[in-house]
Structure formats: C-alpha cells, structure tokens
Chain A
Amino acid sequence: MTDSFWKTGAPSPRRQDLLWPSLTQALRQLGIVAVMAVVWGVLLLGYLGLTGGQPAEVMGGDSESTLAVVSPTDTPVVALPSPTPSPTPIPPTPTLVATAEPTIQETSVPGAEPSPRPTHTPVPSPTPTPSPVLPTPTQTPAPVPEALETPQVSFAADVLPVFQRRCRNCHGGEKTEEGLVLSAYPDVMTGSWNGPVIKPGNAEESYLVEMVASGKMPKKGPRLLPSEIQAIRDWIDAGALDN
C-alpha cells in the first residue's frame, strides 16, 4: 500500500484510486474558473472606475500623474479586512494654503496661539466670530499669508541630507555623472555639463525636480519619498537659498 519517500525511505501514503477528470468534468471546471475570472475582472474594473484609479495611465505615467493618481479621497472604505477602515485623515500637502487663515476652529485648544502653519484641513471660513470688526489679534490676516506661502525649508537640514543619502554615489564623492555634483550648495547650483538643474523660485521648471518626480533619478534604487520630493520643491520655490 505505502510507497517510501525518495532517499529518506520514510513511508509515504500513495493513492491507488486516482481518477483523472473526464472531458465533461474538465470542461465544467474550466468553465467555472473562466466565469469566476470574468466576474472578478468586471468587479476590478468597476472598482477602479468608482475609485478613479486608471492603471493604464499609472503604468506609463510620468511625474505628477504617477504620484497624484490616488488622492486622499480615493482611499477605499473596504481597504482591508481590519476593523478600522482608514480612520486617519491624510494631511494635505502644505503648498497652497495661502488663503487659509488660522481660525479658532482649527486650534482645538481655545486660547492657544494660532500656529504659523496649519497642520490639518485649513477651513477658509470667512467669519469665525459674529463680530469681525473687533480688532482681535487673531483676526488680522495681513502678515499670515506670507508666512504660510513658503514653508520653512532649509537646504542644510532638509535637502542636502536627501542628496547625500540618495545621490552621492553617482553625483559627488567618486563619481560625478553628467558633471553634476550634489554634495555642497555651490555645486548644486552650478548644475551639470548641460547647465543649471535648479531654477530658483520655480520648482516646476527645475530639471532636477523633473528627474526625481518622474522617478528617473535616483537612477538605480527606489524613488525618493513624496515628502522628500516635496521638501526639494518647497526649497526651490522659496528661492533655493543656502540656508
């Protein structure tokens, strides 16, 4: 009755009654598999339609489109079989918060000073209090937008460490690919053999941003994290200072 395992010689139960499926049985099962695959495919497409994900676009996607495919609102409710479907609101990236004034609702602690940078969903409510005439110090919007427009980004603290961690092997140190050195501020601003790769005040038109946002750089290895790319963007938009 029993066979033995190869080499070990341990007894192994070998079935003597194995029956292969007949043609009808095989066709029936393959049919079930095919139907289930189609149903699943339709569900997948419907789900992508509902959530706005477009795989084709994502796959060939460049720069922005790749990163912006999944907006926070797209987070599906049925995310995981965990009991808590995404309770964490995703903080918006602090790029265009100039219109938002720090209001009372925002700071959950009454009486606390409004922070210079709103952390969560800035509500641009026009009248937080019934009497806006009162010269409350928190209601003066004049100096606020300026402080908000340019998030405090430091080259030495936020940008250079990213370059040193992720770019140094090829741009700086031993190799300087394309003549580009990213190990100190003057070199970064000098750019490559083809000219500057950073346009102070204009991240969108800076070649370096294009390269990291599209994932072309770092040439090998994982992309930069969105927060790292954002730091580089903010730093350039703030004038690409040596700070």
Chain B
Amino acid sequence: MEFINRLINALVDVHPLHSMTVHFPIALTGTALLFLVLALWRRNEALEQAAFYLITLSAVSTIVAGLTGYRDYMIRFEGDAPLVNVKIFLGVTLFGLTTVIALTRWRRSEILWRPSTMILYLSAFAGSFGLATVLGFLGGVILYGF
C-alpha cells in the first residue's frame, strides 16, 4: 500500500507529466516514417497501413503531450518558462500536420502509391518527425540549458 501511494505520488506530484508523455509523439512519428519508407521499399501495403495507424496515434498522443505540457508550464513553472511561445507554435503545427495526414490518408488510401502524391505524403511524415524532435530538443533546453 505504502509503495502504491508513493508510486502515485511520484507520478502525479513529483515527476513532470509532460516529460513522460512527449515520448509518444516522438516515437510514433519516427516509427511512422520508418514504416512508410519500408512500405515503399518493400512495396508492401500492410506496412503502409501500419504507418497510417502510427501517424493517427501520434496525432492523438500530441494532444496529450500538449495538454500536459501546458499544465506543467502553468503549475510547475508558474507560467514562467523559456521558449514556450515557440514550443506552442510547433506543437500546434505538429498536431495539425499529423491530423491532416491521418484524415487525408483515411479518405484517399492510395495516396502513397500515386506518383503525383508520393513525395508529398513522405515529406509530411518526415516533417512531423522533424517537428517532434525539434520540440523535444527545445524541451531539453528548458530543463538542461543550452
């Protein structure tokens, strides 16, 4: 019981929630890009579908990361943390981009296989992974300095 209480206390009060949740968008956008490249290389529809699921999940997890980030910003940093402006802008872009990718792929499942949209689709995945890593780096700057 004591251990469980300490665990809950550590998770809710001591450890910053944002630092935990941000790993999801970073990992999911990265894996989505990897699966997309693999799909193209292997010409494999199953892998392409996996990339679609991953980018959809990353859009959802970005919401969680954003909300916990805002909470940590207001509560832990008391509204006084560096780089917050930039991070909010990049975060909103990341959410928008992943959502647009997921919705577009949902409506038009052939998007990767058409020569007229292949590069656009790949670039969008690469862009979202890039955004997520830059956001992660800026978070590191807040905690550890530059």
Contact = CB atoms under 8 A, between A and B. Distances in A.
A48 B87 CA distance: 11
A67 B144 contact: no
A20 B119 CA distance: 10
Interface residues of A, number: 60
| B interface majority secondary structure | helix
A115 interface: no
B136 interface: no
Contact of A223 (B67, B83, B143): B143
Nearest to B117: A29
A55 to B, nearest CB: 6
B8 interface: no
Q: How large is the interface on B (under 10, 10 to 19, 20 to 34, 35 or more residues)?
A: 35 or more
A17 B115 CA distance: 11
Contacts of B6: none
A149 B61 CA distance: 45
Contacts of B63: 81
A178 interface: no
8 residue pairs, one from A and one from B, having the closest CB atoms: A53-B85, A90-B79, A215-B145, A29-B119, A21-B115, A222-B143, A15-B43, A13-B45
17 contacts: A3-B42, A20-B115, A21-B115, A21-B119, A25-B119, A28-B116, A29-B120, A47-B85, A51-B85, A55-B83, A58-B82, A80-B70, A81-B66, A81-B92, A82-B70, A223-B144, A223-B145
Interface of B: 42-46, 63, 66-67, 70, 74, 76-86, 88-89, 91-93, 95, 113, 115-120, 123, 127, 141-146
